[in-house]
Amino acid sequence: MTTNINQNDFSQIIKGRRSVRAYQPDYKIPKEEMMKIIEEASSAPSSANLQPWRVVVVDSKEGKEKLRPLVMFNTTQNDTSSAMLLIFGDNKFYENAEYIYNMAVEKGKMPPDVRDSQLSAIKSHYPSLSKTVANDVIKIDSSLFSMQLMLTARAYGYDTNPMAGFESDKLAEAFELDSKRYIPVMILSIGKAAEPGYDSLRLSPEQITFWR
């Protein structure tokens, strides 16, 4: 469905993305398609390819009722979207390093000596990061994933809305995650728009770019 996208198509995906707040409430995204969107979004870059992002898909009536009091002024998205995607960062992300790098060797993407060197560096570096630095790594990487997820969803014909307005200190425990391990990054609503999102202006390249 999303293969063979040319440059013009990709430009339209980027320029056509809007933050949509009201969705067709009866439209449900099939689980297989949602998993494909998440899989493709997971090709986003991350520090040492350790992929710290984790996703909770809230698409049931019960799940949305649990989420509703935690999303502040974003209840329309919660009530009408096909799903609310809770994006967390796992602060034990480096524990997957051996699996990721062993799979890379197994699939011929990396020679064993490079794996061994990389794993040695990862094991000595990441567990010793301060909480502040680790949180920065997790949130930057998970935000890259989130942006790619929004563009992937758009390529599949869906609309999204990123949200930071929620009770971040309550989100993990509400969905049975360890709040000391899983750090809330953002919530994305996803579905078919019931009304178009607002167009908006952007600063020009000249206003945001410095040449030296």
pLDDT 10s digits, 163-199: 999 999 999 999 999 999 999 999 999 999 998 777 7
pLDDT 10s digits, 126-142: 999 999 999 999 999 99
Output DSSP code: residue 96.
Answer: G
pLDDT of residue 5: 63
137 vs 46: CA distance, rounded Å: 9
Residue carrying the six token digits 């709040």: 179
| CA dihedral sign of residues 62, 65, 66, 68 | positive
Long-range contact set of residues 103-107: C-beta below 8 Å, sequence gap at least 24: none
pLDDT 10s digits, 198-208: 778 889 999 99
Alpha carbon 23 to chain centroid, angstroms: 20
pLDDT 10s digits, 139-152: 999 999 999 999 99
Share above pLDDT 70 across residues of the chain, in percent, rounded to a whole number: 93
